[in-house]
Amino acid sequence: MNSHNPNIGHDRPVIRQLDDAAINRIAAGEVVERPASAVKELVENAIDAGAQRITIDIADGGKTLIRVGDDGCGMSAADLPLALSRHATSKIDGSDLLNIHSFGFRGEALPSLGAVGRLSIYSRAAGQDGAEITVAGGDMGPVKPAALSKGTVIELRDLFYATPARLKFLRTDRAEAQAITDIIKRLAMAEPSIGFHLRDVSNGGSRSVFRVDPETGDLFDALHRRLAKILGAEFADNALKIDAERDGFHLSGYAALPTFSRGAAVMQYFFVNGRPVRDKLLIGALRGAYADFLSRDRHPAVALFVDCDPHLVDVNVHPAKSEVRFREPGLVRGLIVSALRHALGEAGHRASTTVAGATLGAMRPETPHQPIYQMDRPSAAVRNVSYQTQAPESFGFAEAPAPSARIDDPVIEPAQDPQQTDHPLGAARGQVHENYIIAQTQDGIVIVDQHAAHERLVYEHLKKQMAERGVAAQALLIPEIIELSAGDCTMLLELANEFSRFGLGIESFGNGAIAVRETPAILGEVNAKDLILDLLDEISDWGSSQLIQERIEAILSRMACHGSIRSGRRMRAEEMNALLREMEATPHSGQCNHGRPTYVELKLSDIERLFGRT
């Protein structure tokens, strides 16, 4: 019986050279994925041209119109046809593909856009006349004179009209417009000195979607103001300044306190040499830095900038240039983890201001129908004299027996030292519901969750002990041999020294196998094979592993929970004040082991506003 193989034809396939139009359409599929991709390429070109202000107009989510205007250096009439040629660029000369100091460098964006849409370029260089050129579906028109004061305006209409099948894969106008807004915001963070204005001109209107003016002054101050406008004033108020350097890599930016966390990774922005990127290495490093302060379902908010010599990073590993590859990934990861943990440690007991805001928002005072008579607030000296005259001893009640209190009654004890209100967390004035300490500061009150606060203090103490003494290793009576692929074995053995710091001892056992000889004693009985496989999964996903450290710290956290002050225990005034002083001296005491706040601070002005006293 004769069998027919569909892969073998009677005629030999003929190799053909594709024409430029087909090549440009294929390239456009990689470079221009959606309208937001086109906006990104055009705005990056405007930034590379030295623009100080960039205006972006879109219609129907960018499907029918994208117009980008800038006040940059512009192009001459002779440059316009060349700009629409593939692999023609002014950014590099081709001699060194790693020495890249600009956003664009491939020379693919404009010809790709002209191949799938109707593209018009209007430009004027200094000292020359304005000119324009149009290309539609890959067909280029002649260069014509144009009226333009300076800079460049690029107009893209009917995106993907030449490849209508691509239109079916686009999302709704609203979703595409949101993606464009996100791109502009990321580029605005990367360039605080440039002004951006995004407008929606659908249906003949003109609605301002996003606008920021150029920022001036110090780099950090300019960035802080720009982030406040984009991410909100709450982020700016609760963000820590990051500025660290190591072996040619410089890390800068802002990272929010753990108590300003989010339920999704929607406020995490990374930039490498000014280029917005989404990189697994950077995300993994961020997760490792906050692992000790947040539960897995919470995500930190950051805007971090990694700057280095262009030869230390390859930005040409993804068509959209959204991923990078570092020559020394371990060095970058270590810099991010150490810098963030150092900044969080210096923050001490500080908690985010949003905690107080949420507390005040939960209180719903009745609005008074008429103004309330407000006596002048006495000075601090007058208040201290008043406290002394109201003390029980002043009335001869020092020897009187204390009244019996029900379990629901609050325990109110006077502070031992009125001057303790000078401390950041103030002086303890009482305890309510056997769990919350009420302290008075100079300009407000502090409510402390005694169990959560002490749990964090005990946890930090246990971690310090572990760092000083190391993690004890438990030798296995019979080493466990685990068979793996050669690549997995190599990956694990490269991290053997790091694993040994946490009590896990592994070594090579011939080709395709490793021997586990020691496991961390604090983990108790461990399934070594499952532990090794989990480590491999995490290393494959993030490029490194924090699994052992996280498991050990989880046990320390449980030990701290059982060894801390329990809810329901009554505390004396000196105990409460001692707890407050220890919180002030202990890093990270503003949040518990799961990222929840350990205290809430309310300003007196806010409290008075609740009672209609202002």
Cα dihedral sign for 233, 235, 239, 245?
A: negative
Boundary (domain end) residue, out of 154, 181, 212? 212
pLDDT at 397 over 50: no
Asked whether residue 319 falls in the same domain as residue 423, the answer is no
In a domain, 386, yes or no: no
Percentage of residues in the chain having pLDDT higher than 90: 30
**Confidence grade of residue 111 (pLDDT, cut at 50, 70, 90):** confident
Last residue of a domain, one of 306, 321, 347: 347
| pLDDT at residue 54, rounded to an integer | 97
The CA-CA-CA angle for residues 206, 211, 217, to 5°, reads 155
**Three state DSSP letters for 170-239:** CCCHHHHHHHHHHHHHHHHHHCCCCEEEEEECHHHCCEEEEEECCCCCCHHHHHHHHHHHHHCHHHHHCE
**Does some domain include residue 4?**
no
For residues 198 and 248, state if they share a domain: no
Same domain, yes or no, for 337 and 308?
Answer: yes
At 278, which CATH number?
3.30.230.10
Q: Tell me which residue of 185, 191, 282, 279 sits closest to 235, measured CA to CA.
A: 185
Instruction: Report the alpha-carbon distance of residue 590 to residue 600 in Å, rounded.
Output: 9
Band of pLDDT at residue 418, cut at 50, 70 and 90? low
Structurally, the chain folds into a number of domains equal to 3
> Would you say residue 8 lies in a domain?
no
Average pLDDT over residues 477-495: 87
Q: Where are the alpha helices (H) located in 49-156, listed in sequence order? A: 79-83, 109-116
152-181 average pLDDT score: 90
Report the alpha-carbon distance of residue 350 to residue 484 in Å, rounded: 46
Based on the fold, state whether residues 440 and 530 are members of the same structural domain.
Answer: yes
Mean pLDDT across the stretch 66-83? 92
What are the Cα distances from residue 433, in Å, to 37, 42, 377, 414? 56, 61, 29, 17
Identify the top-confidence range among 33-42, 190-199, 476-485: 190-199
Angle made by CA atoms 261, 434, 560, in degrees to the nearest 5:
55
> Quick check: 331 pLDDT over 60?
yes
Cα 497 vs. chain centroid, distance in angstroms? Answer: 30
Which pLDDT tens digit goes with each residue over 251-288? 999 999 888 888 888 899 999 998 899 888 898 889 88
Domain boundary among 212, 242, 262: 212
What percent of the chain has a predicted confidence (pLDDT) above 70?
Answer: 78
Q: What is the pLDDT of residue 590?
A: 84
Average pLDDT over residues 414-418: 49
Question: In terms of domains, do 250 and 324 share one?
Answer: yes
Residues 255 and 173 in one domain: no
Residue 394 lies in a domain: no
Rounded Cα distance between 252 and 244, Å, is 7
CATH code assigned at 474: 3.30.1370.100
Q: What is the pLDDT of residues 114-160, one digit of tens each?
A: 888 899 999 999 889 999 999 988 888 999 999 898 999 999 999 98
Domain that holds residue 464: 408-614
Longest dimension (CA), the chain: 118
567 shares a domain with 462: yes
Domain match, 427 and 514 both: yes
Indicate if 337 and 466 belong to the same structural domain: no
Residue 120 lies in a domain: yes
Query: Do 476 and 579 lie in a common domain?
Result: yes
Q: Same domain for 431 and 477?
A: yes
Cα-trace Rg, the chain = 32
Q: Which amino acid is at 577?
A: N
More confident residue, 240 or 491: 240
Question: pLDDT tens digits for 123-136?
Answer: 999 889 999 999 98
Average pLDDT over residues 512-535: 84
Query: What is residue 382's predicted lDDT score, i.e. its pLDDT?
Result: 47
Residues 247 and 153 in one domain: no
Indicate if the pLDDT at residue 214 is higher than 90: yes
Residue 353 lies in a domain: no
* Cβ-based neighbour number of residue 390 at 10 Å: 10
CATH code of the domain containing 208? 3.30.565.10
